[in-house]
Amino acid sequence: MLAIILGPPGSGKGTQAAKLAEKKGLVHLSTGDILRNAVKNETELGLKAKSYMDAGDLVPDDLILGIIKERIESNNNVLFDGFPRTVPQAEGLDLMLAETGSGINVVLDLDVSDQEVINRLSGRYFCSSCQATYNYPNKLPKREGVCDKCGIALSKRKDDTEEVVKNRLNVYKELTQPLQDYYKKQGLLKTVNGEGNIEAVFNDLVSILDSIKTG
Ligand code: AP5
């Protein structure tokens, strides 16, 4: 199974992708998490990506396609989260997959309003070690301010300030939303109301994945 989870910033892609990957035995491949780790570890990729991420802009397509190529060569059971983000990235992915005789099976598209995105991101905290996300008041950690799994203090993402979130939403509409048409034309797009609670959205997504037949 090769699946993509699409949606605006803060729509719940990471939250749902982690749960779906566990339930369906998929590798959760989040370009955002890979890039944040690279920035934290000050790798060559991280140094190139940092200024784009801090401003809420997209990292150049060639860097992203390089990250993906390395990781999918030996894997055909993947849930892509935050990738592709532009039509050229989607075309690049299709070419890579065609070389291995495979293709995307389904694109899960989370529909969430701008106001809900702003509310969710203003309450988001994350663990810089395991990348788990929490939310005040929607998904509280067991102990206030501390990651349930790692026991370390939770942080705010640098790109979750109001100004940067507005830019991320604009970038999404201009560069990422065209992917809805790209995948609709291929008959792969399944849009889900992402504004229900985490479990309700999860159940809808599981039903879709359960209905997909893979080659
Ligand atoms: P990335 O990390 O992919 O950020 P994003 O797409 O902006 O999405 P988020 O991670 O902010 O949100 P999400 O949809 O995963 O929501 P979450 O589950 O956390 O990318 C960051 C940056 O990296 C980009 O801006 C760019 O610079 C770069 N980048 C990454 N990929 C790239 C690519 N392919 N090309 C170029 N550049 C790239 O949920 C949000 C909050 O809401 C959480 O607090 C959560 O607990 C809560 N929540 C989740 N679901 C619900 C619900 N149903 N009800 C209530 N609360 C909920």
Judge whether 129 lies within some domain: no
Q: Which of 139, 157, 158, 166 is catalytic?
A: 157
Contact 109, 180 (CB under 8 A): yes
Residue 96 lies in a domain: yes
Does the annotation mark 157 as catalytic? yes
Ligand 1 pocket, residue 13 CB under 6 Å: yes
Nearest atom within ligand 1 for CA of residue 81: 3
Convert the pLDDT of each residue in 116-166 to its tens digit: 999 999 999 999 899 899 999 989 999 999 999 999 999 999 999 999 999
120 counts as catalytic: no
State the total domains in the chain: 1
Residue 97 falls inside a structural domain: yes
**CATH number of 32's domain:** 3.40.50.300
Q: Is the CB of 201 under 6 A from ligand 1?
A: yes
pLDDT score of 213: 81
pLDDT band for position 215 (50/70/90)? low
Banded pLDDT at 110 (limits 50, 70, 90): very high
- Within-domain flag for 134: no
In a domain, 146, yes or no: no
Ligand 1 site, residue 82, Cβ cutoff 6 A: yes
**Residues 28-74: tens digit of each pLDDT:** 999 999 999 999 999 999 999 999 999 999 999 999 999 998 888 76
Q: Does position 176 have pLDDT exceeding 90, yes or no?
A: yes
Q: Is the pTM here over 0.85, yes or no? A: yes
Among protein residues, the one whose CA lies closest to atom 34 of ligand 1: 83
Could you tell me if residue 103 is inside a domain?
yes
**Whole-number average pLDDT of the chain:** 95
Q: Which residues contact 182 (CB under 8 A, 6 or more apart)?
A: 87, 90
Query: What is the residue with the minimal CA distance to atom 5 of ligand 1?
Result: 9
Catalytic, 19? Answer no
Q: Average pLDDT in the 91-97 region?
A: 95
- The residue range of the domain holding 51 is 2-112+164-211
Residue 78 in any domain: the answer is yes
95 lies in some domain: yes
Q: Provide the b/e sequence for 134-165 (b: ≥16 CB within 10 Å).
A: bbeeebebeeeeebeeeeeebeebebbeeebb
